[in-house]
């Protein structure tokens, strides 16, 4: 049962509803600007050769921008899949397995992207 005080404090069934809500909204807002910047970066690199693309990604500002885009995308992806899992999977077993799979998948994808950007950024 949810009392009005519990609603105000944002303590839902899992006791993290408000934090989850704000994390999704802030990462979505950040991703709007990061995606616009990413599209701009791709447009700027159209027609360039491999070495000039490596030089552009080697720029500390560009690589930091890409790392922020990866970080916010990974966090947003994780929380989005978690919401879908909690809302639509009825079986506790499947819900738990989906959460574990989501955690591993989002971590591996983000780690691989971070390693790729750092490798290109440091000239490797």
Residue 87, pLDDT score: 87
CA–CA separation, 106 vs 111, rounded Å? 8
| Segment holding 49, helix H or strand E | none
Q: What is the pTM of this model?
A: 0.80
Let me know how long the chain is.
124
Cβ-based neighbours of 44, under 8 Å, separated by 6 or more: 56
CA–CA separation, 113 vs 49, rounded Å? 21
**Domains of the chain with bracketed CATH:** 4-121 (1.20.1300.10)
Residue-by-residue DSSP string for 87-102: HH---HHHHHHHHHHH
Block means of pLDDT (10 residues each) for the chain, 124 residues, are: 57 65 92 96 92 91 96 94 89 92 95 95 82
For the record, the structure tokens of 5 come out as 């005080």
Residue 17, pLDDT score: 66
């Amino acid at each position: 049962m949810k009392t009005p005080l519990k609603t105000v404090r944002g303590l839902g069934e899992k006791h993290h509803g408000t934090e989850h809500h704000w994390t999704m909204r802030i990462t979505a807002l950040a991703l709007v600007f990061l995606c616009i910047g990413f599209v701009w970066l791709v447009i700027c690199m159209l027609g360039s050769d491999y070495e000039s693309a490596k030089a552009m990604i080697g720029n500390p500002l560009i690589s930091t921008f890409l790392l922020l885009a990866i970080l916010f995308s990974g966090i947003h992806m994780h929380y989005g899949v978690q919401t879908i899992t909690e809302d639509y999977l009825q079986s506790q077993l499947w819900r738990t397995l989906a959460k574990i799979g989501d955690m591993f998948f989002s971590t591996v994808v983000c780690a691989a992207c971070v390693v790729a950007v750092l490798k290109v950024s440091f000239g490797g």
